[in-house]
Amino acid sequence: MQENVIFVLGPPRSGSTLLMRMLSSHSQIHSRPEPHLLTPIAHLGFYDNVDRASYDQIQASQALHELVADLPGGEEGYLEALRAYTDTMYAGILSAQPKPYFLDKTPAYALILPFIERLYPHAHFVLLTRNPCSVWDSFAQSFYDGDYEAAYDFNPILGRYVPAQARFLREAKVPFVHVKYEDIVQDPGAQLKRIYEHIGIPHEPETVNYGEAAPSVQGGLGDPIGVGRHNKPVTSSLEKWASHVAVDPAKRALLEHMLDSLDPDDVRTLGYDPATLLEPLERVDVPKAQMKASEQAAKDRWDRYKLQRRALVMLRKDVHHNLLGRLLKKLRFYCDLILRGDGGAFSRYADRPYGSDEPPEDGLPD
């Protein structure tokens, strides 16, 4: 199954949805939005833990290491067991499709690359990088209504993804192809050809025009505002970030702080010169950018997606210290108290006969 799996590995807002749309319009590649299949099993305790869980992570991790030590194959036996699960899932998805390859594009996979290398060493790895300034601005604009401070407080993604991708580029033990977002939008045909050669399938030049193909990717997570507006890659987003930063000194200060905290060697490994990252700011016509920002704000005022994001940003701000946060924590406490039962999370199954096919009384799906 490994040889039939393709991983597109890039941080949020790196252009991974655009690349997925083009690749999945190939006659041999199927995809669906962000399966998040591998992230949970990477944090079961053998390789890493989650911060919070409904069980004791320390005990579970220790017990799992002891259990794996007793397996005849040790760690390889554990990986084989995990692979049996993921292979079943991937094969099941492909069984309903006429295409032989499945493309898994889940941004968080870029943070668990060493685990994926162990689990799927014979899969096809496509590492996608983008100018960190563009990644950050697109992340803040898309999910935090342009509020850099709120985005940084919730998830300072540059400090997490840049080192992880650079480490993979330097130390990868599996074959991979590295593509840059900037190259994809400026010369998509050449980049797609490189990727298809890496996978070992024929180059289909028409996949550049992903919007003209029958849609093979529907719903789910991914790009909420950008990729659906076009039928093929466009270059208009290359320096779009600069017009947002040049008119706001606070945004520039925070962006410079994040860039300064990155290892310059990591940035260079990703394909970018740390010394020239901020050069686009000098090319911005500030009065024109301010006028355009004002016009865009007026257009976005009643946009449903923007309204939802704006509301979330407002509600999240200082939520752990204000009255709303205290009320929500109290409400959560009472909800947990009311819903807690002898069977915990499985109490809905407690009264059903063993092996029964009848749904639980709450009517929720299994």
pLDDT per residue as tens digits for the range 178-218: 999 999 999 999 999 999 999 999 999 999 998 776 555 55
Question: What type of residue is 231?
Answer: N
Q: What is the pLDDT of residue 300?
A: 65
- CA-wise closest residue to 109 among 85, 86, 91: 86
Do 324 and 284 have their domain in common? no
Do 333 and 197 have their domain in common? no
Listed range (72-76, 235-239, 337-341) with the worst mean pLDDT: 337-341
Do 109 and 258 have their domain in common? yes
pTM above 0.85, yes or no: no
322 inside domain: yes
357 inside domain: no
Confidence of residue 79 (pLDDT cuts 50, 70, 90): very high
- CA-wise closest residue to 297 among 145, 134, 151: 145
Q: Where are the alpha helices (DSSP H) in 43-187?
A: 57-70, 75-95, 113-119, 132-144, 148-154, 158-171, 181-186
94 inside domain: yes
359 inside domain: no
Q: What is the pLDDT of residue 335?
A: 86
Q: What is the pLDDT of residues 239-272, one digit of tens each?
A: 999 999 999 999 999 999 999 999 999 999 999 9
Do 72 and 193 have their domain in common? yes
Distance separating alpha carbons of residues 249 and 257, to the nearest angstrom: 12
Do 240 and 337 have their domain in common? no
Do 179 and 323 have their domain in common? no
183 inside domain: yes
Do 330 and 225 have their domain in common? no
Confirm if 40 and 165 have CB atoms less than 8 A apart.
no
274 inside domain: yes
Do 212 and 337 have their domain in common? no
Q: How many residues does the chain have?
A: 366
Do 156 and 219 have their domain in common? yes
- 18 token code pair: 């655009």
- CATH assignment of the domain containing 290: 3.40.50.300
CA 122 to each of CA 1, 75, 176: distance values in angstroms, whole numbers, following the listed order: 9, 18, 10
Do 217 and 335 have their domain in common? no
- 101 token code pair: 């390859």
Give yes or no for residue 219 having a pLDDT over 70: no
Q: How many domains does the chain have?
A: 2
Distance separating alpha carbons of residues 353 and 356, to the nearest angstrom: 5
Distance separating alpha carbons of residues 52 and 38, to the nearest angstrom: 18
310 inside domain: no
Do 50 and 176 have their domain in common? yes
Report the b/e string of 226-254 with b at 16+ CB within 10 A. Answer: bbeeeeebeeebbbebbbbbbbbeebbeb
88 inside domain: yes
Confirm if 140 and 148 have CB atoms less than 8 A apart.
yes
Mean per-residue pLDDT over the chain, rounded: 86
Do 85 and 219 have their domain in common? yes
Q: Find the domain containing 83 and state its range.
A: 2-305
- 82 token code pair: 């995990």
